[in-house]
């Protein structure tokens, strides 16, 4: 059977075929061409089959988010499929999954590579979304250093003394700093390369969201996460579908005046930290 006779479709590209990213694509991908990129062929096969059974038009591509050539090839493939209206990047590693260098390479530099690559192919009126983390709010970076970072091209970020001297100390610091730099990367792109394409880009910083990969963190520090959840105003974890609802708004027509900003979706964890209701590390 031919499920869709429309040949000229807008394109949605997702880098990182995990549960959060796929929830977002499900929310916005109906009637569009979906390009899924991930380093795992098995993950791509699984998600593609699931999407196909639900009536979505999906193509997959193995992508190594650490390599510029691979990410650029992914962006170029998206453009070959049609006008690229949406790009979502969820690729990353959490503190208990990798060492500091890998986190900086993937969560910071890799994100920058993707933002740069898609700045060359986004259609006018298109929108992008980088999935950051509430951890971005847990280690304040001095304003003068943030100003330096926001004006540093992707290739130079690892050479910034603050990154070399602070982020590399341990995986937790690497993760918090990389995620904050995600905000700065989106701000720079919103004001420069993506603006030139007349496209928008924003970030979302999820809190404790239950996903299969999140269990690596829960298994390593379950008591700490439990205290964090208990101290939050929501008193519970979040879901990928809740992130997808917010993502659909930021990517959609009702958010056309929003670019270069972050949306914190954490159930009140950062509010609890800032008011002293919860203290990190206790």
Domain ranges of the chain: 11-213+239-269
Per the CB < 8 A criterion, the answer to whether 13 and 86 are in contact is yes
3-class state of residue 28 by DSSP: helix
Q: Is 85:125 a contact under the CB 8 Å cutoff? A: yes
179 in active site = yes
**pTM of the complete model:** 0.95
Q: For residue 253, with 0-12 CB atoms within 10 Å meaning exposed, 13-18 middle and 19 or more buried, which class applies? A: exposed
How confident is the prediction for the chain on average, in pLDDT? 95
pLDDT one-digit tens code per residue, 185-229: 999 999 999 999 999 999 999 999 988 777 777 777 778 889 999
Cα separation, 150 vs 93, whole angstroms: 22
Tokens of 182: 């995600």
Based on the residue annotation, tell me whether 175 is a catalytic residue of this protein: yes
Pick the CATH number of 11-213+239-269 from 3.40.50.720, 3.60.15.10, 3.30.420.300, 3.40.50.300: 3.40.50.720
Residues 42, 179, 215, 278: which is the catalytic one?
A: 179
CB distance 90 to 14 below 8 Å: yes
Tokens at 137, concatenated? 């709010």
pLDDT, tens digit (0-9, with 9 covering 90-100), for 130-163: 999 999 999 999 999 999 999 999 999 999 999 9
Which one of the listed residues 175, 225, 278, 279 is annotated catalytic? 175
């Amino acid at each position: 059977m031919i499920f869709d006779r429309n040949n000229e479709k807008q394109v949605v590209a997702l880098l990182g075929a995990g549960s959060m990213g796929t929830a977002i694509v499900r929310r916005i991908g109906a009637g569009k061409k979906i390009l899924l990129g991930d380093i795992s062929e098995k993950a791509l096969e699984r998600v593609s089959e699931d999407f196909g059974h639900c009536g979505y038009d999906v193509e997959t591509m193995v992508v190594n988010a650490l390599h510029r050539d691979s990410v650029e090839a992914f962006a170029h493939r998206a453009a070959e499929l049609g006008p690229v209206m949406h790009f979502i990047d969820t690729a990353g590693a959490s503190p208990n999954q990798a060492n500091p260098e890998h986190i900086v390479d993937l969560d910071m530099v890799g994100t920058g590579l993707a933002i740069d690559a898609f700045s060359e192919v986004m259609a006018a009126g298109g929108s992008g979304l980088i999935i950051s983390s509430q951890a971005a709010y847990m280690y304040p970076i001095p304003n003068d250093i943030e100003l330096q970072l926001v004006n540093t091209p992707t290739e130079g970020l690892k050479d910034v003394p603050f990154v070399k001297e602070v982020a590399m100390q341990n995986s937790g610091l690497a993760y918090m700093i990389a995620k904050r730099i995600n905000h700065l990367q989106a701000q720079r792109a919103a004001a420069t390369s993506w603006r030139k394409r007349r496209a928008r880009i924003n970030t979302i910083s999820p809190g404790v969201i239950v996903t299969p990969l999140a269990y690596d963190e829960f298994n390593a520090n379950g008591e700490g996460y439990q205290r964090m959840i208990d101290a939050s105003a929501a008193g519970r974890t979040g879901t990928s579908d809740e992130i997808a609802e917010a993502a659909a708004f930021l990517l959609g027509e009702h958010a056309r005046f929003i670019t270069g900003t972050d949306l914190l979706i954490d159930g009140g964890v950062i509010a609890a930290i800032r008011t002293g209701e919860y203290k990190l590390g206790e």
